[in-house]
Amino acid sequence: MFEIWAAVLRRGGNLFVDPEIPPANYYAYTPVWAVLLRVYDLIATASGTPMHFVLRAALTLADVGNACLIGVIAHRASGWSWHRGFATYFLNPVSILLVGFHGQVEPLAALPLLGAIVLSRAGAAAVHRRAEWLLGTASLVLKHNLAFLVWTLYWFAFPPLARVVALGLSAVVFAATFLPYLIVSPGAVIHNVLGHAGLPGLYGFSSFAPLWICVPLFFIVMTSLPLAAQAWGLDVPRAMRLSAIAFMAFTYGIGEQYFVIPILFGAALGGRWFWGYTAAVSLFLLSSFENVNILPLPRVWNAVWVVALAWTASEVISAVRIKINPGIEGAIRTRVEPPEPD
């Protein structure tokens, strides 16, 4: 798929309307990712290296950055050693299968958001708000399915009115990157990018409820979740993790690449549900014909959804219990994650 798009870019084609792109492989990413694809293609051509190797090497390098940032967040939020936080993500089978093998883009879009979480802890507020806005916008223009994580970041970074302004300005920048394509083919851009929502009817509530219920439910939950997280007293790492998990619990369309999102934003905090989710996704990917396909298991999307839904419920229940009785916070977190040994 990426090789097909790179070939179109090589001859100066328009990814959104090029007739040589099969309908099943239509381009649903941002123009910024197209620029990066062109760069990777130039590197592959100049070095005589296969495109898929260059692409996966670049994404793995970005994942090293993610793991480094997760190590910092884990040390602050969980009291772990930096090395444990790094390894919890970088050696996680889900990240290995979806980034190192499958070559998915989500980790690249997550890199600035994880950087923003690190920045959210210290320094002059005005300077860091500007930096967090820049990082949130960078994530959005790399891949827009992390938009609700950007919204969660802005909710905690800015005062009420400024949150809406910050998100609006990011949306303007996002739209501006599409301007050359919108002028030529606005219908194709809107259909491919804004109309793309993964595979419907296979996963979650959309597997048994109509979209007219699932779509509003998703947007209501994901839009209001930062407000609830703040009311429950969650800090930024825990609020971002909750948003990532809830995305997997309430999304109405699915793709295997989505599975890495809770791993990216949950690895720094770990917990039994994190590892249960890791196990469920790993079994799915090991049996998937779109991944390594080495286990003779049925490809049941909702096996992952049930775990994601239960994990979301567990997070909400724990947050509410701690809000009602702050004294149990230490007991809950000690039970979930034992302290680092001396």
22: confidence class by pLDDT, cuts 50, 70, 90: confident
Q: What is the pTM of this model?
A: 0.91
Domain borders along the chain are 2-336
With cut-offs at 50, 70 and 90, classify the pLDDT of residue 339: very low
**Residue 293 pLDDT grade (very low, low, confident, very high; cuts 50, 70, 90):** confident
Residues 6+ apart with CB under 8 A from 58: 36, 40
Q: Is pLDDT of 6 > 50?
A: yes
- Assign 335 a pLDDT band (cuts: 50, 70, 90): very low
Q: What's the rounded Cα separation, in Å, for the pair 100 and 221?
A: 32
Helices (H) and strands (E) in the chain, counts: 17, 2
Mean of the pLDDT values across residues 216-231?
Answer: 97
What are the φ/ψ torsions at residue 111 (nearest 5 degrees)?
-55, -50
Nearest to 114 by CA among 236, 259, 221: 236
Residue linked to tokens 């993610």: 66
Token pair 């303007």: residue = 172
pLDDT at 167: 96
| C-alpha closest to that of 282 among 303, 313, 264 | 303
User: Model confidence at 23, in pLDDT bands (50, 70, 90)?
Assistant: confident
Stretch 59-74: mean pLDDT: 95
Q: What is the pLDDT of residues 179-217, one digit of tens each?
A: 988 898 888 888 888 877 788 889 999 999 999 999 999
Task: Work out the pLDDT band at 333, boundaries 50, 70, 90.
Answer: low
Q: Write down the pLDDT at residue 185.
A: 86
